[in-house]
Amino acid sequence: MASGVAISDEVISKYDLIRVRHAGTDAGERLKLLVMCLSKDQKSIVVDHDNCLTVKDVGTTDVLKKILDKFPPKDCRYGLYDCSYVNKESVKEDLVFILSAPESAPLKSKMVYASSMVALKNKLQGLKYEWQINEPGDRDPSCLVEKLGGRDTVKSLEGQLV
C-alpha cells in the first residue's frame, strides 16, 4: 500500500455483511452505513463503531441527512453506504463508497486517507459508485444523484423524489 496502512479483518467481515444484504439477519438489523477510520496509532483502517448505522437506525425519513451526520465535520472517514434508489427501470440497491475529507480536516489526515483509499477499495471488490465529500456543497443529495446516473435516470433517492 502506498500509505503503509493495513486494513483490519473486521472491516472485511463487515463489508461482507453489508454486501450480502439479507444474509440471515433481520432486515432492521442490516447495516445501512459502515464507517471506517484510521486507528489511533494510524497504522490500520478499522471500523468506527460509534458512527455505523443499521436500517432501523435510519428509519424512513431524512435518511441521507442521518447518513451524512455520521461523518465528522473536521476529520476524515471512509464509508460504505447501502443506497436505495429508483431509476427508470426498477428499484435499485447499490453500495456507495464514501471518502469524507472535509476542508477543515488536518492536512496529514487528508493525505493518509487519500493515499490509503485505493488499497481499501481493492479489498472491497465490486463497488460501482464513489462519492467524495470535501466541501459543504458535496453533501447535497444532487451530488449523489449525479453519481448514480443523474436526474434523467434517478427518480427517487431513499424514498424522496429528486
Q: Along the 162 residues of the chain, how does pLDDT read in single tens digits?
A: 456 789 999 999 999 999 886 555 676 688 999 999 999 998 999 999 999 999 999 988 899 999 999 999 999 999 999 999 999 889 999 999 999 999 999 999 999 999 999 999 999 988 999 999 999 999 999 999 999 999 999 999 998 888
The reported pLDDT for the residue numbered 22 is: 54
The reported pLDDT for the residue numbered 1 is: 45
The reported pLDDT for the residue numbered 61 is: 84
Contact 77, 36 (CB under 8 A): yes
The radius of gyration computed from the CA coordinates of the chain, to the nearest angstrom, equals 15
* Size of the chain in residues: 162
Reading the block at residue 68, the C-alpha cell is 451524512
**Half-sphere exposure (Cβ direction) of 61: Cα atoms closer than 13 Å:** 0
Cβ partners under 8 Å of residue 100, min gap 6: 71, 72, 76, 77, 78, 79, 133
- Domains of the chain as residue ranges with CATH: 6-161 (3.40.20.10)
